[in-house]
Structure 1
Amino acid sequence: MKRNRLYRVGTMTGAGCAPASQVPLDSSANLLAYYRSTLPCLDQAWKGSWRKLRKAGVKFRAPKVVVHNGSSSSPCGTPGRLSFYCGQNKTIYMYDAEIVNPWNAYPGDEYSHGLTRLAATHTLAHEYGHHVQQLVGILRTIGPRYKGKLERRAELQASCLGNVWLSAQRDAYPILADYSQRPELWRYISVSNHGSLANQAYWTDRGYASAQPGDCNTFKAPGRTVS
């Protein structure tokens, strides 16, 4: 985990992605359409960073994305009202209400809708970070020890990797100045196993500042940054 080949892939570059779809996120069907429009950009960007990993025998495989209502099951279980990644079938499961409800709570409010769209994008990028961890063997190495300190390190790394992508594709998925003033609405994942807000900020800033997966080595970081 500390010396994974992922940390040597270099800076992620722009993949020439199209600007984010403006489909309204007011229903499960539209939310799925948005995620499906975003996923190819994530695939293209990460696949472009895979050259050194491919030489080392690490194959790239794109994940699937599913939108669920809190009762869906997966080979990894039924986590309930959460977004999650299942490595057994390499599928990202996105919980619809965490995006659809706030979107519909502010009809016609472009500012709120922009924050909600950014929250959707940020969460998808985080879950994709777990897919990257699966492909490079980090999740396999952790195995059943995925709890406590190792879980926080893995979750903080996924957020950092998500922001590596957001940084490299900032032309297509910009974080506007107005939105950066309300990070609690899109940037943080308010679950205890994802670390403190201060440490989430540290790792998302780190990934966004450099666009380098090598700066996301949470498994080598001192304990105070992954609490």
Structure 2
Amino acid sequence: MTIRRDAQLDPGQVRDRRGISGGGLAVGGGLAGILGLVLFLFLGGDPSQVAGALNGQTVGDQPSNDLSQECQTGADAATRDDCRIIGYVNSIQSYWGTVVEGYRLAPTTFFEGGINTGCGYATSAVGPFYCPPDGGIYIDLGFFDELQTRFGADGPFAEAYVIAHEYGHHIQNLLGDLGAGGGAGAESISVRTELQADCYAGVWADHAVATGFLDPLTPAQIADALEAARAVGDDRIQEQTQGQVNPETWTHGSSEQRQAWFRVGLDTGDPNQCDTFSGDI
């Protein structure tokens, strides 16, 4: 999935705080050091529940770098990773803004090291996450290197999948469906919440071209999307990191489930088909 070269980007939907101190101390270990925490947050975990990674500080007015000169069109997205992410953010919000009544723009913030958020202070070790209290998405772009080297989920569509999944949580938050429950297990509310966000990501992908920001999906890119969903299934992660699979501890769903629900969204293009809270999943 590539950004159209003539697409007009809106960097105002992204805050670039890379290289700007967020205050506080980073939790040691880096992205590779606490992979489980990274995946928990990337796949939709509430960062306010993670002890040690967040210390309760609150978000305030923080300075940002200006990307308005660097990221103007899709041609810039072809040469710069941050501009490409801006293109995805613009497309995702363009679509959901036409579907969800009263949609509120959710800023995506790039950061390095650590940052204050409405959920407290987060280090880059937590990976991408959505913070319900301030309605923002936070990303250390270095996470995508980790996703590729550890799980083989690479390419622009893997990035788009991550971003679209996080915006799926924003939609859940706006609709009042986020934070309704938790727990663990193959049928848990946590799993159902994550699978719905995957479905919403697929819905956006089906409409992405119509937003005017992206070129049509190719079969190879669809295959990449399904591989990205498979790569972050609970069973695949457990096999790779623990050597065994325990469905009773699942919080995000199996590879098969994640692929299936992304596919439901992609094939139907209808968010009403993303009801993961009723019936079998």
User: TM-score if structure 2 supplies the norm length?
Assistant: 0.57
Distance 2:141 2:130 in 1: 14
Closer, same or farther: CA 191–91 of 1 in aligned 2, 3 Å = farther
1:96 is matched with: 141
The structure 2 residue matched to 1:74, chosen from 96, 102, 117, is 117
Structure with greater proportional helix content = 1
Tell me the CA shift for residue 31 of structure 1: 3.5
Matched, 1:198 2:237: no
- Structure 1 unaligned residues grouped into runs of 5+: 1-16, 106-111
Moved over 6 A (4+): none
Tell me the CA shift for residue 63 of structure 1: 0.1
Q: Which has the higher contact order (CA 8 A, sep 6+)?
A: 1
- CA deviation string 1:64-109 (max 9, x = no partner): 0012346434222437342110111110112312325678x9xxxx
- Give the residue type in structure 1 aligned to 2:85: Y
- Structure 2 unaligned residues grouped into runs of 5+: 1-5, 9-72, 235-250
Contact 2:229–2:255 (Cα < 8 Å) also in 1: no
Distance 2:74 2:146 in 1: 19
Closer, same or farther: CA 198–82 of 1 in aligned 2, 3 Å = same
2:25 is matched with: none
**Helix, strand or coil: the match of 1:96?**
coil
Moved more, 118-127 or 67-76: 67-76
- The percentage of counterpart residues that share the same residue type is 22
User: TM-score if structure 1 supplies the norm length?
Assistant: 0.69
2:132 is matched with: 87
Size of the alignment, in residue pairs? 186
Q: CA RMSD in A?
A: 3.2
The structure 1 residue matched to 2:203, chosen from 154, 158, 164, is 164
